[in-house]
Amino acid sequence: MSWRKEALAQPQCPGLHPEAGFIRVEGLGMSFGDRIVLDGVDLDIHRGEVFVIMGPSGCGKTTMMRHLCGLTRPTRGSVVIEGQDVFSLAPSELRTLRLRTGLAFQGGALLGSLSVLENVALPLRENTDLDGEFVLEIARMKLEMVGLLHAADLLPASLSGGMKKRAAIARAIALDPEILFFDEPSAGLDPVTAAEVDNLICKLNQVFGITTIVVTHDLPSAQCIADRVAVFFDGRVAAVGEKEHVWHHQDERIRDFIERRMREADERDMDIATFMAM
Ligand SMILES: Nc1ncnc2c1ncn2[C@@H]1O[C@H](COP(=O)(O)OP(=O)(O)OP(=O)(O)O)[C@@H](O)[C@H]1O
Ligand SMILES: [Mg+2]
């Protein structure tokens, strides 16, 4: 983990005056047929914080995130954002709420036939009445914020993995969201590029105060960006709180999970250090 840590700029994300109860999840349950995927989840996400969701593959992290942004309706329970129960909203109210959120999901999902600039401009074209040239100006500004202005005219196919992630982030912030969702932002990236994406997430959180919810497998990434962490097991919150509380949790299952992730990160870093020394 040390090699990766050195690649990260300090200080880590401190969060901006977090305010409890911004997003409240109560008794959330979700089943696909007989399979219970979320089993009575309670969470309190603070305004302005970076909240990280971890847990073994298949434990329900992506499903949880889809509920948080109103994309999937639960079998039971509620998600309340600033006092609004997401699943009781009229379609027009839900649309307004969605405009306050940005999604940067696994895979990035950039449209292959559009340039990077046009991909970032798309949410502005679809959701505002802004003049075409002004839309492009805003899109360029967003690309500049993620360090990708030089790639504005390229097609997504010619971008590296890290550039694709940054383009997806530029698109996610096109409408100046108050809440940003990331599903596995560092998946498939080498540690240095992953650290760059982490730093970008921190910058957006610190500079604009965007409440940020991140699903990740990557412990060094969670250590870098999180204000608070939740670890899910079998569709339930097994631990939640400040990083140090979670990393040193008394539950053996949590400690085993964290130690395994730590070993994986160390092995990966050793592989890279060996490769670079060759
Ligand atoms: N639309 C669906 N229909 C049926 N089962 C689903 C559906 N979506 C998810 N599941 C199941 O729900 C469980 C949790 O899936 P989810 O994608 O939330 O896990 P995850 O924690 O994000 O896993 P990973 O770390 O591999 O991304 C899995 O067993 C998955 O197969
Ligand atoms: Mg997932």
Write out the residue range of the structural domain in which residue 229 sits: 2-100+177-277
Question: Of 128, 152, 176, which residue is a domain's last?
Answer: 176
Give the distance, in angstroms, between the CA of residue 33 and the centroid of all CA atoms in the same chain.
28
In 3D space, the residue among 86, 74, 81 whose CA is nearest the CA of residue 28 turns out to be 74
Give dist(CA 257, CA 142) in Å, integer: 37
Q: What's the structural domain count of the chain?
A: 2
Check residue 258 and give its pLDDT: 92
> In this structure, is the dihedral angle defined by the CA atoms of residues 142, 144, 148 and 149, taken in order, positive or negative?
positive
Average pLDDT per 10 consecutive residues for the chain, totaling 278 residues: 39 52 95 95 96 95 94 95 93 89 80 96 94 96 94 95 91 95 89 89 92 94 94 96 92 92 80 62
DSSP label at residue 178 = S
Residue 83's Cβ-side half-sphere holds a number of Cα atoms within 13 Å equal to 0
Tell me the C-alpha distance between 240 and 10, whole Å: 24
Parallel/antiparallel/unpaired status of strands 19-32 and 35-47 = antiparallel
State the pLDDT at residue 188. Answer: 84
Closest Cα to atom 26, ligand 1: which residue? 57
Looking at the CA of 54, which ligand is closest?
Answer: 1
- Please report the pLDDT score of residue 16 as a whole number: 47
Q: Judge if 181 and 272 occupy the same domain.
A: yes
C-alpha 165 – ligand 1 centre gap (Å): 22
Distance CA 186, CA 216 (A): 8
**Residue 57: CB within 6 Å of ligand 1?**
yes
Q: Is residue 106 part of a domain?
A: no
- Residues 16, 94 within the same domain: yes
Whether 170 and 209 map to the same domain: the answer is: no
Distance CA 14, CA 30 (A): 33
Instruction: Look at residue 8 in the predicted model and tell me its pLDDT.
Output: 40
CATH number at residue 26: 3.40.50.300
Closest Cα to residue 10, out of 223, 278, 213? Answer: 223
With a 6 A CB cut-off, is 275 part of the ligand 1 pocket? no
Residue 105 lies in a domain: no
**In a shared domain, residues 183 and 253:** yes
Helix (H, G, I), strand (E, B) or coil at 167: helix
pLDDT of residue 235: 95
Chain length of the chain: 278
Q: Does residue 53's CB lie within 6 angstroms of at least one atom of ligand 1? A: no
Pair 42, 92 in one domain? yes
